[in-house]
């Protein structure tokens, strides 16, 4: 562990090794017999000591000695000091002479110390000796934390100890880690000299820079610097960062066969729903729990709607999620009403919303938007569109009629209210200072990576609405992919996140990817706008909080292996994932929560091509006990098809009740049996791989 061998590299004589193994087996047999018969004589204890000196990882022997010690203490309480001293000496010999990382010896030593009859100062001296031999022995560091807690030693003293250890060896990762733990406690308790977070972090940045510039190849300091960056930019309490509808939006809800002239309304604020239900989406900067009708008040006109049910959009059926959705009913609104219904949403005025780490939502927010219901007096006359074709010829770059860029709902993405404070200037100043320093290390890989991270954090903090350093960030990650191919997949993911942030940060850049879908074979008028993020070499999805309004999304010709986070796009009805690197239906699990999807293209991926589904380790697995599946082989029995082979596909696709068009051609799984299976489990399906 940590590059230190657990066993001696010196070869032993085979005969001597066999004899030693036989001796250990004999000692173990005798100890187990004594243990079973509760024999705690001196001879029995000497035998256990001999065994532990040869094999300190035999847990039963340590447990036996605990029972023997307790028996001796119960028989003669005055012998506690001498009896416990023997146990400490035994554990010390095992750690110093045999194995300094023997779990049983460390646990036994902790148990003895907890009795309160031993010198803790002596214990610190032993730890110093062991850490001189291996400064990264995490057992010793864990034991030190236990000892200093018993001593009531101050965090300030321990912080100074980590400094001394680091100054001796800057590659002491354990000391850096321990320093982060202690520093977190000091800042949390607001101890004097640690109450001002900006001053504390500034000192630590300077301290770690000395180490990094001493040896830029050592990773320990870089990890600590990354921790400092996280402490600088992260928000302690959760924040609401976006919603749909956004604050100030004027939503037109279309019911039945009602249609609008596109010249009079922005397609970004039009939502079609025959049921009269409108999704309300809240997107937080971190996972939260406690979103309910108690903590989120929804008023429709003069009436408070107490029947709103909030659902977390999480990978499993968890009650903690970054995205929460509720369905607002406008089914009873008078048909052809000329007046829009005003909706007001208040979040967090009453306590109850907490992050997964236990931080209270302390920035109450208010949203106000209007909903104008346009409904036909008859039932819907048919489907919106017939068969969808994703060919380039069907997409025309969308331009507002009056060139008013405000049609694109960028301003509605960030929640702004009187309670929210402006970004702290000290954070931006600290990171700007770090950027200036680390530009001197752009000739090494870790220097490039750190500058890219710092630039990304700086752009997020200044909140100017634009990604100021996006071009440089993309250039740095692009260069890293070339010079460090071993970690190219990580750099590719970061490059994808930076690119999506750049594309979604400004109206003009977002408009360049907004296309109107035009079906030359159909005379149906539609207001369907497609966000085309195809052919961008994306390997990971991000900035989804800015895309809650999207109904039609083209992600084809990318390098996606999962669609994690896509469940936030609750309006999504048309989705193309064609020609990516999706390896299984497990990677498509977020589709389960996109109940509005009508058209889905997953053609020409790698589904069924891999004997081992590695995405189960990246995405939530249908095998999870926290997810209830309605899988029933008998219910969907199909002649000649072993439906059990397709349980993942059933799990993902069965909830898509509105799915009418599906393309799966080009995947290894897409044989005739699979198509028969799909026809059985998806009764609403009209087109499969282009055919009806």
pLDDT in tens, 245-293: 999 888 988 887 666 655 555 677 888 888 889 999 999 999 999 999 9
Q: 445-462 and 425-438 helices cross at what angle (nearest 10)?
A: 160
Q: What is the CA radius of gyration of the chain?
A: 32
Three-class secondary structure of residue 355 per DSSP: strand
Residue 407: per-residue pLDDT: 47
Residue 231 and residue 179 in contact, taking contact as beta carbons nearer than 8 Å: no
- 245 cis-preceded (ω within 30 degrees of 0): yes
Of 259, 315, 266, 271, the residue nearest 573 (C-alpha): 271
- DSSP for 373-442, please give it: EEE-SS---S-S-SS----GGGEEE---TT--GGGS-STTSS---TTPPPPPHHHHHHHHHHHHHHGGGT
Q: 297 - beta bridge partners?
A: 346
User: How many CA atoms within 13 Å lie on the side-chain side of 362?
Assistant: 7
Integer Cα distance of 322 and 313 in angstroms? 7
To which residue do tokens 């309605």 refer? 630
To which residue do tokens 């896509």 refer? 566
H helix or E strand, kind and range, residue 109: helix 103-113
**Torsion angles phi and psi, residue 479, rounded to 5:** -70, -40
State the 10-residue block means of pLDDT for the chain, 692 residues long. Answer: 50 77 90 94 93 91 94 90 92 89 91 89 87 82 90 92 91 92 91 90 94 89 95 89 91 76 66 88 94 92 79 82 93 67 90 89 89 70 69 87 49 41 74 94 92 94 74 97 96 97 88 87 67 97 94 97 96 97 94 95 93 57 47 55 80 93 95 90 90 70
Interior angle at CA 461, CA 562 and CA 465, nearest 5? 80
- Look at the chain and count its residues: 692
Strand 529-532 to strand 514-517: parallel, antiparallel, or no bridges (unpaired)?
antiparallel
Integer Cα distance of 326 and 683 in angstroms? 27
At 25, list the tokens.
């087996």
Integer Cα distance of 58 and 157 in angstroms? 36
Residue 231: per-residue pLDDT: 93
User: How many CA atoms within 13 Å lie on the side-chain side of 647?
Assistant: 11
Integer Cα distance of 276 and 324 in angstroms? 20
Would you call 4 exposed, middle or buried from its count of C-beta atoms within 10 A (0-12, 13-18, 19+)?
exposed
Integer Cα distance of 472 and 478 in angstroms? 10
3-state helix, strand, coil in the chain (%, to 5): 45, 15, 45
Residue 325: per-residue pLDDT: 96
To which residue do tokens 């999504």 refer? 572
- From residue 571, how far is each of 184, 281, 518 by CA, in Å? 41, 10, 20
Integer Cα distance of 237 and 360 in angstroms? 6
Domains and CATH numbers, the chain: 22-233 (1.25.40.120), 240-379 (2.60.40.3710), 423-513 (no CATH), 533-692 (3.80.10.10)
Integer Cα distance of 597 and 656 in angstroms? 7
b (16+ CB within 10 A) / e for 501-536? bbbbbbbeebbebbbbbeeeeeeeebbbbbbbbbeb
To which residue do tokens 């000497």 refer? 46
Integer Cα distance of 223 and 468 in angstroms? 26
- From residue 244, how far is each of 261, 281, 368, 411, 529 by CA, in Å? 23, 5, 11, 12, 17
At 379, list the tokens.
């039932």
Of 576, 577, 570, the residue nearest 596 (C-alpha): 570
């Amino acid at each position: 562990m940590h590059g230190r061998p657990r066993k001696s590299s010196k070869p032993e004589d085979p005969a001597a090794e066999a004899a030693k193994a036989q001796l250990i087996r004999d000692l173990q047999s005798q100890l187990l017999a004594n243990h079973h018969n509760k024999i705690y004589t001196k001879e029995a204890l000497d035998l256990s000591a001999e065994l532990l000196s040869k094999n300190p990882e035999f847990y039963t022997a340590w447990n036996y000695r605990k029972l023997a010690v307790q028996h001796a203490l119960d028989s003669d309480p005055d012998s506690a000091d001498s009896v416990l001293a023997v146990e400490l000496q035994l554990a010390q010999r095992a750690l110093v002479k045999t194995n300094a990382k023997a779990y049983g010896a460390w646990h036994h030593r902790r148990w003895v110390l907890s009795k309160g009859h031993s010198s803790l100062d002596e214990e610190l001296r032993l730890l110093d000796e062991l850490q001189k031999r291996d400064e990264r022995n995490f057992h010793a560091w864990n034991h030190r934390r236990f000892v200093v807690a018993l001593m009531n030693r101050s965090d300030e003293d321990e912080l100074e100890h980590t400094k001394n250890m680091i100054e001796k060896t800057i590659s002491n990762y354990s000391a850096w880690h321990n320093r982060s733990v202690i520093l977190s406690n000091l800042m949390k308790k607001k101890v004097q000299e640690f109450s001002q977070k900006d001053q504390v972090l500034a000192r630590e940045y300077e301290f770690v820079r000395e180490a990094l510039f001493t040896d830029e190849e050592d990773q320990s300091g870089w990890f600590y610097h990354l921790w400092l960056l996280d402490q600088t930019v992260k928000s302690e309490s959760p924040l609401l960062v976006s919603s749909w509808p956004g604050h100030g939006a004027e939503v037109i809800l279309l019911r039945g066969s009602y249609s609008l002239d596109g010249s009079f309304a922005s397609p970004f604020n039009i939502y079609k729903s025959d049921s009269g239900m409108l999704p309300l989406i809240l997107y937080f900067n971190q996972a939260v729990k406690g979103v309910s009708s108690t903590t989120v008040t929804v008023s429709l006109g003069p009436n408070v709607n107490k029947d709103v049910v909030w659902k977390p959009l999480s990978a499993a059926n968890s009650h903690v999620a970054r995205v929460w959705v509720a369905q607002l009913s406008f089914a009873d609104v008078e048909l052809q009403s000329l007046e829009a219904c005003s909706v007001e949403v208040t979040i967090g005025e009453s306590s109850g919303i907490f992050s997964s780490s236990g931080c209270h939502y302390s920035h109450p927010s208010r949203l106000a938007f209007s909903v104008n219901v346009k409904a036909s007096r008859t039932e819907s006359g048919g489907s919106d569109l017939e068969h969808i074709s994703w060919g380039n010829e069907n997409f025309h770059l969308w331009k507002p009629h009056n060139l008013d860029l405000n049609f694109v709902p960028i301003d509605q993405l960030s929640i702004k209210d009187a309670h929210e404070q402006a970004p702290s200037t000290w954070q931006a100043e600290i990171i700007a200072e770090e950027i200036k320093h680390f530009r001197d290390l752009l000739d090494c890989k870790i220097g490039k990576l750190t500058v890219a991270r710092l630039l990304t954090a700086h752009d997020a903090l200044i909140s100017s609405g634009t990604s100021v350093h996006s071009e440089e960030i993309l250039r740095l990650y692009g260069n890293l992919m070339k010079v460090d191919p071993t970690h190219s997949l990580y750099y590719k993911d970061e490059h994808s996140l930076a690119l999506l942030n750049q594309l979604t940060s400004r109206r003009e850049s977002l408009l360049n990817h907004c296309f109107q879908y035009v079906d030359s074979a159909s005379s149906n008028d539609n207001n369907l706008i497609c966000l085309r993020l195809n052919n961008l070499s994306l390997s990971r999805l991000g900035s989804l909080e800015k895309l809650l309004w999207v109904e039609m999304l083209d992600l084809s010709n990318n390098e996606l292996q999962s669609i994690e986070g896509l469940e936030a796009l609750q309006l999504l009805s048309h989705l193309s994932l064609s020609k990516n690197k999706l390896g299984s239906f497990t990677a498509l699990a977020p589709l389960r929560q996109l109940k509005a999807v009508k058209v889905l293209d997953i053609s020409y991926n790698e589904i069924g091509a891999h004997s081992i589904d590695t995405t189960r380790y990246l995405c939530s697995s249908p095998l999870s006990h926290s997810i209830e599946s309605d899988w029933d082989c008998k219910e969907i029995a199909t002649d000649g098809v072993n439906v059990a082979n397709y349980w993942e596909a059933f799990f993902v696709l069965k909830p898509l009740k509105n799915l009418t068009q599906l393309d799966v051609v080009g995947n290894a799984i897409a044989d005739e049996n699979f198509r028969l299976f799909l026809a059985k489990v998806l009764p609403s399906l009209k087109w499969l791989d282009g055919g009806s």
